[in-house]
Amino acid sequence: MNKLVGKAKQILFVLLGITIPISIGITNLIIGLLSLCWILEGNFKSKFEFIRSSKWMLSIFALLGLYVLGLFWGDNHLNAEWQFQRLALLLVFPVFITLNLENKVLEKAVLAFLGVNFIAAILAIAINYSIIPPLYEFISFMKYKWGVSAFLKYNYHNVMLVFSSSIILFTLIEMKVRYRALFKVMLLVYVYSIFTEPGRAGQALMIIISLCYIIFYNYKNYKRLTIILFLFFAFQATMYHVSQVYKDRVDMLHNIVVNKGMKGEVEDIRYVFVKESMKRILKKPLLGYGTGSFGTIFNNEIDSDYSFYTHTTPHNNYLYIWFEVGILGLLLLLSIFYHQIKELFKKQDGIHRTLLPLSFMFLMLVDSYFFIFTLTICYIFLYTIYSKYQEV
């Protein structure tokens, strides 16, 4: 029985690398099956000991507990059910991190993830240039949604391509692998897809990661560093003129900043979020306004051109948690990533592995990605690999 469960667990984890960039429904099913394997294989004592010894996992449970307590203060908890649905996904973290996964399985899972994102990038480019119609037109189970690149919305699609690009960059620079030419082609396709489709967060993150690699590998050689930086910014200028989407995104952001938050005749929603969130946070910095309170309070109190019924978060994880459960919630969130970074940094090539949590921390500045299913499970999946993989 244990042997069968162990084999199923390895196969399911590889399949997860395929489904995360494609389907939320199938991904949910695989997570459920992996959780069942986790239960069936038993050995709970050692698992719980491992969880108890992990400071970042204890911080996750403390954050979950704080959100439960957050139901007992404040007068607005309309979105609490929505919030707990998102928080429940964090329980996947201790399940995955205590799975016994072999190195070969982790490698196959990464390759599956990279391969599917490569296909998704090719399809997204083809759709963007009207070479093929959007997939929902001839795949019955896909429903039309605004902003879908191939299988996912552009902002999730772009971020996954950035994570894939980071893995490829590290692989090409630091590891001896077969099919290097294929990896280079994959990287070019990822990057082209990132900068020819919407998704400012992914584009900004790709720029930041690229600069980190350029500086890290060339800071001792000033001349080479200068040449590579020149070529990098020349590439950015080229993409600005080649990609209308990228140009529009850059111009829009520039105009909003120059006009101090104004987007035409109305104030940009992200400026509204930051300004109004901070006003209220400073009134109740210790406990916040209670679990599920953000959307209701903004709808009732903010005089704006926007409707906040569809915006239950301020598009910033740090402000969101601070707003609802106070400064302790914010500190617990930071504690999760602080201890994850420490854990990864101690490993071989730790400085490269820490780019994953650092990248996600950047993303949380521009949206509540820690509570968005697709990218949260993607982060949990990749962190499990980054944490468990042992180079030989």
SS (H, E, C) 202-251: HHHHHHHHHHHHHHHHHCCCHHHHHHHHHHHHHHHHHHHHHCHHHHHHHH
Q: Which residue, 241, 238, 250, 245, is CA-closest to 147?
A: 245
What's the CA gap between 11 and 4, in Å, rounded?
Answer: 11
The whole-angstrom distance between residue 1's C-alpha and the CA centroid of its chain comes to 36
Residue 64 has pLDDT above 90, yes or no: yes
Higher pLDDT, 314 or 187: 187
Q: State the pLDDT at residue 392.
A: 47
Nearest CA to 251 out of 262, 267, 236, 240 is that of 240
Pairwise CA distance, residues 364 & 362, whole Å: 5
| Beta bridge mates, 266 | 263
- The C-alpha atoms of residue 237 and residue 241 are separated, in whole angstroms, by 7
Cα separation, 377 vs 370, in Å, equals: 9
User: Looking at residue 285, what is its pLDDT?
Assistant: 95
Q: What is the mean pLDDT of the chain?
A: 90
Does residue 378 have a pLDDT over 90? yes
pLDDT of residue 301: 83
Q: Looking at the DSSP assignment, which residues form a beta bridge with residue 153?
A: 148
* Closest to 169 (Cα-Cα) out of 210, 218, 202: 210
Closest CA to 76 of 369, 279, 323: 323
Q: What is the pLDDT of residue 146?
A: 61
Structure tokens of 242? 């080649």
User: In 70-153, where does DSSP find H-type helix?
Assistant: 80-88, 92-97, 103-128
The set of residues, in sequence order, having a beta carbon less than 8 Å from that of 333 and lying 6+ positions away, is 59, 63, 317, 318, 321, 370
Q: Which of 131-145, 211-225, 245-259, 284-298 has the lowest average pLDDT?
A: 131-145
Contact of 54 with 268, CB cutoff 8 Å: no
**Average confidence (pLDDT) over 304-311:** 62
Q: Beta strands 262-263 and 266-267: pairing type?
A: antiparallel
- Can you tell me the mean pLDDT for 309-332? 89
pLDDT of residue 28: 93
Q: For position 152, what pLDDT does the model report?
A: 86
pLDDT tens, position by position, 12-32: 999 999 999 998 889 999 999
Q: Is the pLDDT at 187 greater than 60, yes or no? A: yes
Helix axes 317-345, 373-388, angle to 10 degrees: 10
User: 23: domain range?
Assistant: 2-388
The confidence band for 1, taking pLDDT boundaries of 50, 70 and 90, is low
Per-residue pLDDT, 57: 95
Q: What is the pLDDT of residues 244-295, one digit of tens each?
A: 888 988 888 888 878 776 776 677 778 888 888 999 999 999 999 999 998 8
224 pLDDT band (50/70/90 cuts)? very high
Q: Among 88-102, 141-155, 179-193, 270-284, whose mean pLDDT is lowest?
A: 141-155
Per-residue pLDDT for 389 more than 50?
A: yes
Tokens 């914010």 sit on residue: 330
Q: What percent of the chain has pLDDT over 90?
A: 62
Question: What is the pTM (predicted TM-score) of this model?
Answer: 0.93
Helices 24-40/2-19 angle, 10° precision: 160
Highest mean pLDDT pick, 104-108, 134-138, 178-182, 199-203:
104-108
Q: What total number of domains does the chain contain?
A: 1
Spatial contact of 58 and 52, defined as CB atoms under 8 Å apart: yes
Can you list the alpha helix ranges (DSSP code H) found in the chain? 2-19, 24-40, 44-53, 55-69, 80-88, 92-97, 103-128, 154-174, 180-196, 200-218, 222-242, 244-258, 269-281, 294-301, 317-345, 350-353, 355-363, 373-388
